[in-house]
Amino acid sequence: MRQSRLFTKARREAPADEVAKNAQLLVRAGYIHKEMAGVYSYLPLGLRTLNNIVQVIREEMDAIGGQELILTALQDKELWSRTDRWDDEKVDNWFKTSFKSGGETGLAITHEEPLTRIMTAHISSYRDLPVYAYQFQNKFRNELRAKSGIMRGKEFLMKDLYSFSRDEAEHGAFYDRAREAYAKVFARVGIGNRTYVTFASGGIFSDFSEEFQTVSEAGEDTIYVHEQKRVAVNKEVLSDEALGKLGLSRGDLVEKKAIEAGNIFHLGTRFSEALGLLFTDEKGERKPVVMGSYGIGPTRLMGIIVEVLADNKGLVWPEAAAPFKYHLVSLGHGGDEISKIADALYDDMQKAGVEVLYDDRDLRAGEKFAESDLLGLPKRIIVGKEAAASGMFEVVDRASGAVEKVSHANLLSSLQPPASSL
């Protein structure tokens, strides 16, 4: 895409009303727009980034047998009353409103209830199990505070997968596969090395749930990391008893600030019993389905990537998330020789199916480089005097700053089309 056509404009100054680094940089770079506290729109560069993150997660959910669907924001009060999660005294972050046709409704905080009800129409026998269903859907949470940018919104995108299994053994096997799939997601988006499986409070059906916590100074959680085992314990469950169960000793743990990037839960039969999701097993007995839930917030994940990878010059995107892999920056002016070389290279890249943002604007080099740093695309290709004189292009790696001189021929042969497209 030609940058002269992109409607968003980067700003020099950080917005005065943002304290979180992720929101400051994303607003400055024109990726997002703040509508209200905790409510953000995604502008073209932001939506492309978000869609790339969504696609990484989708591929990993499909790989473990997930079937994609999409549920609704508006929720049925009666359904949530049956699981005792409607009353404000039980769940304190509903947005509630009412139908003109009569009756109350609320905006989905999560989706166990509606999906379990749907499954009662499709699951009746052990032959129908297991089922893994997931969605990318907005969740709404009426948070009192919202100072973490897109890491904690009142309206945010969530990938939630729910598993429906015959028994604990079948559930456990999938739960392990889901944990592995999650690790792949975090590795693919560039934060695998600082993200730890973290034991947290479990609920009724297990001692622990598992969170994926990404170490960051911006984190709201405190975790205790066992670096060698690549696991951690959330402060909320840290006790000698818990450490005993987990086979960890206190002396090996290091305290860190961290951000929750995902979680996997054993739900047992809590929802299937309350909502009548039963199946007939091989012996003809009726049993409740054993469930699990598995969440990653793509918008939050985008925020985490910014928090941990951005530097003092701006955003730094891993290839899998970047809105464009290449930033082609022309230093030409008004149709000169340099501009023509850059135009031709852009056409070649377009033909090769490479996703490239082409800064074809007539601005000073310093201004262009500063904005390119802010936008954070992985590779910057500079077309300057040298390109016109000797046919060599400078390619700068945004993350490391490493500079390579590449000939036109070598550049074209090295261009990679996107790994996955939406």
- Residue 86 beta carbon to a copy of itself: minimum distance, rounded to whole angstroms: 14
What's the full length of the chain, in residues?
Answer: 422
Indicate the residue among 40 and 393 with the shorter CB distance to a copy of itself. 40
Residues 153-182: x/- map of binding to a copy of itself (CB under 8 A)? -xx---------------------------
CA distance 273 to 152: 32
Indicate the residue among 72 and 410 with the shorter CB distance to a copy of itself. 72
R_g of the chain computed on alpha carbons: 24
Per the DSSP assignment, residues forming a β-bridge with 234 are: 223
Should residue 303 be labelled a site residue for a copy of itself when binding is judged by CB under 8 A?
no
Should residue 228 be labelled a site residue for a copy of itself when binding is judged by CB under 8 A?
no
Residues 116-155: x/- map of binding to a copy of itself (CB under 8 A)? --xx-xxx----x--x-x----x-x-xxxxx-------xx
- Residue 184 beta carbon to a copy of itself: minimum distance, rounded to whole angstroms: 21
Tokens matching residue 85: 């999660």
Should residue 363 be labelled a site residue for a copy of itself when binding is judged by CB under 8 A?
no
Of 2, 14, 47, 394, which one interacts with a copy of itself (CB under 8 A)?
47
Of 2, 8, 110, 394, which one interacts with a copy of itself (CB under 8 A)?
8
Should residue 67 be labelled a site residue for a copy of itself when binding is judged by CB under 8 A?
yes
Helix (H, G, I), strand (E, B) or coil at 159: strand
Tell me which residue of 377, 375, 421 sits closest to 31, measured CA to CA. 375
- Residue 317 beta carbon to a copy of itself: minimum distance, rounded to whole angstroms: 18
2-10, 268-276, 363-371, 392-400 -> range binding a copy of itself (CB under 8 A): 2-10
- Pick left, alpha or beta for residue 65 (phi over 0 → left; psi -120 to 50 → alpha; otherwise beta): left
CA distance 328 to 223: 41
Indicate the residue among 48 and 188 with the shorter CB distance to a copy of itself. 48
Q: How many CB atoms lie within 10 A of CB 64?
A: 18
- Residue 404 beta carbon to a copy of itself: minimum distance, rounded to whole angstroms: 32
Of 2, 14, 65, 172, which one interacts with a copy of itself (CB under 8 A)?
65
- Residue 73 beta carbon to a copy of itself: minimum distance, rounded to whole angstroms: 6
Helix (H, G, I), strand (E, B) or coil at 25: helix
Q: What long-range pairs does 1-5 form, CB within 8 A, spacing at least 24?
A: 1/324, 1/356, 1/357, 1/358, 2/346, 2/358, 2/360, 3/357, 3/358, 3/359, 3/360, 3/361, 4/360, 4/361
Tokens matching residue 395: 């390619």
Indicate the residue among 262 and 298 with the shorter CB distance to a copy of itself. 298
Should residue 75 be labelled a site residue for a copy of itself when binding is judged by CB under 8 A?
yes
17-25, 28-36, 218-226, 341-349 -> range binding a copy of itself (CB under 8 A): 28-36
| DSSP state for residue 112 in the 8-state scheme | H
Q: 93 with 141: CB under 8 angstroms? A: yes
The CA-to-CA distance between both ends of the chain, in Å, stands at 17
Q: 301 with 188: CB under 8 angstroms? A: no
Indicate the residue among 119 and 306 with the shorter CB distance to a copy of itself. 119
41-49, 264-272, 284-292, 391-399 -> range binding a copy of itself (CB under 8 A): 41-49
112-120, 227-235, 238-246, 289-297 -> range binding a copy of itself (CB under 8 A): 112-120
CA distance 324 to 398: 13
Should residue 367 be labelled a site residue for a copy of itself when binding is judged by CB under 8 A?
no
CA distance 3 to 41: 20
Residues that bind a copy of itself (CB under 8 A): 5-9, 30, 33, 35-37, 39-44, 46-47, 65, 67-76, 92-93, 95-97, 99-101, 105, 107, 114, 118-119, 121-123, 128, 131, 133, 138, 140, 142-146, 154-155, 421-422
